[in-house]
Amino acid sequence: MQVTEPMTMATDFALGALCAVWSVISLCIARRERQRSVALWGGGLMGFAAASIAGGSYHGLAVAPESRALLWTLVTVAMGLASFLMLCAAVIAMTSGRWRLALLAAALSKLVIFAIWIAGSNEFALLMADYGSAQLAILALSGYSWNRDRNSSAPWLAAGIAVSVLGAGVQHSGFALHEHFNHNDLYHVIQMVGLYLLYRGGALFRDRA
């Protein structure tokens, strides 16, 4: 099978492998500490791992159009679930009572809208809009939690989201370091840093009573 974009595939696969490792660590922490929020965060990281591996295959392998369509569907499903799980994790770690129920319902509604929205399109912009809105919501929750009780996860999450925004900007700009290291490759490397920071923040979650 021919490889069409080897560097893009390699960086996507590397990102996926790292996310899988961070997911397993998070799930181990969740089991040991009995924290639902950390378990959901770990599930979100596993979603990113699946999306990265499917995305690397989509970009890097010369396959039939039907197979490419299936790979892109895997990317969108995995990313949508990852955004949903991570948003739910932040809600459980940083809110309680009626606010928690309302925000979890909003997160579920966002997932359903995204599923309907993406079903009729393969636009990458729609995928980034869903992911970006979830990240903005997590950033808002982090700011609220930091102001309320100096939640130790908040600085990690804010830093991770800032790095992710930087990566998205680089990708959108089309900036490339080399003809064999394009804007997508650089985006994947920046995302490795951003998702590591997010992993560290999520590992500090503790379910709010």
CATH number of 185's domain: 1.20.1070
How many domains, the chain?
Answer: 1
Band (147; pLDDT cuts 50, 70, 90):
very high
Residue at 209 is within a domain = no
Could you list the residue range(s) of the whole structural domain that residue 176 is in? Answer: 6-203
Note whether residue 1 is domain-resident: no
- The whole-number average pLDDT for the span 42-55 is 96
Q: Which residues pair with 178 in a beta bridge?
A: 181
More confident residue, 204 or 62: 204
Stated as kind and residue range, the H or E segment containing 108 is helix 97-119
Q: Is residue 186 part of a domain?
A: yes
CB neighbourhood size of 112 (10 A) = 11
Tell me, what's the pLDDT at 43?
Answer: 98
208: in domain: no
pLDDT at 117: 84
pLDDT digits (tens, 9 = 90+) for 76-107: 999 999 999 999 999 999 999 999 999 999 99
Compare 97 and 68 and report the one with higher pLDDT: 97
Q: Which residue has the higher pLDDT, 174 or 42?
A: 42
Confidence check: pLDDT of 181 > 80: no
Alpha carbons 59 and 202: distance in angstroms, whole number: 29
Tell me the pLDDT band of 18, cut-offs 50, 70 and 90: very high
On whether the CB atoms of residues 91 and 134 are closer than 8 A, the answer is no
In this prediction, residue 31 carries a pLDDT of 96
Tell which wins on pLDDT, 26 or 5.
26
Report the SS3 class of residue 189. Answer: helix
Q: Could you tell me if residue 164 is inside a domain? A: yes
CA distance 33 to 84: 22
Q: Does residue 54 lie in a domain region?
A: yes
This prediction has a pTM of 0.92
Output the pLDDT for position 2: 62
Q: What is the pLDDT of residue 169?
A: 87
